[in-house]
Amino acid sequence: MAHTALVTGASSGIGEAFARALAGRGHDLILVARREDRLRALADELPTEARIIGCDLASEAPSVPAQVEALGLDVDLLVNNAGFGTYGRFHEIPEGRDAEMVRVNCEAVVTLTRAFLPDMVERGRGGVIVVASTSGNQPLPYTATYAATKAFAQFFAEALRQELRGSGVRALAVNPGPVPTEWQQVSGVSTRELGVPGEISAEQVAAEALDAFDRDRRSVIPGRVIRTFMRLSKPSPRSMQLRVTERLYRPRS
């Protein structure tokens, strides 16, 4: 019997790439996102069975487990991918938008992981993949809340992985660098504008992440260039990192 993977934010970008890669491995899918039309189109293309759940995770994440139960399915792999970012001076970002981001990028991850993890542990198999970001490795002026949510996602996944050792269940933090997706459209800035090196495709992110998951890695930064860049910048003092990133990310207007 095919295992079932639930992928959030599956309507585009990295989430869609995960769905396609997992279907290629023979997984049945539960695709979760706000845009049901895109989910239906994707489900029709996949070679395995794919169910869809239209859901705004900012407000409806607690409803997802009941909808999965109604489908009569067990979740063997949870891919917490849904998320978005904002860009600009914190006090100028529309009121409530960053709080909504925290609900999607952090609270929904906790809610869904708590819902599906106990059954995985009881079965003695399964896994949780959390898509964080290299942005979570340091404070980032002008994407302050986004970077903080991704630090949360990264640390949450890594701590889970340690807790789950010996249980048969795995956890992985995926920390992509620049990836051309709709994230840039939502946030209002592209990583190319900011000059962040090492851009790779969403498909490469999914492929390297699943390879790392197979090898029971704690975390992975997909892409050789951005891995090297992050490794070289890590020893620098936090104060220096903040000065450099403030200049790099400073709004041009």
Q: State how far the Cα of 119 lies from the Cα of 10, in Å rounded to an integer.
A: 23
Q: Which pLDDT score is estimated for 48?
A: 98
For residue 39, the surrounding DSSP H or E stretch is helix 36-45
Q: State how far the Cα of 155 lies from the Cα of 139, in Å rounded to an integer.
A: 14
pLDDT at 2 over 80: no
Note the pLDDT tens digit of each residue in 133-164: 999 999 999 999 999 999 999 999 999 999 99
pLDDT at 232 over 90: no
Decide if 87 is catalytic.
no
Q: How confident is the model at residue 184 (pLDDT cuts 50, 70, 90)?
A: low
Instruction: Give Cα separations from 78 to 87, 126, 189, 200, 240 (angstroms).
Output: 28, 8, 29, 23, 37
pLDDT at 193 over 70: no
Section 173-185 average pLDDT: 84
Contacts of 70 (CB under 8 A, 6+ apart): none
Instruction: Give Cα separations from 119 to 60, 92, 108, 124 (angstroms).
Output: 21, 43, 18, 8
* Cα dihedral 44/47/53/57 (nearest 10): -110
Lowest mean pLDDT among 3-7, 26-30, 80-84, 179-183: 179-183
pLDDT at 122 over 60: yes
Catalytic residue among 87, 142, 146, 249: 146
Average pLDDT in the chain: 94
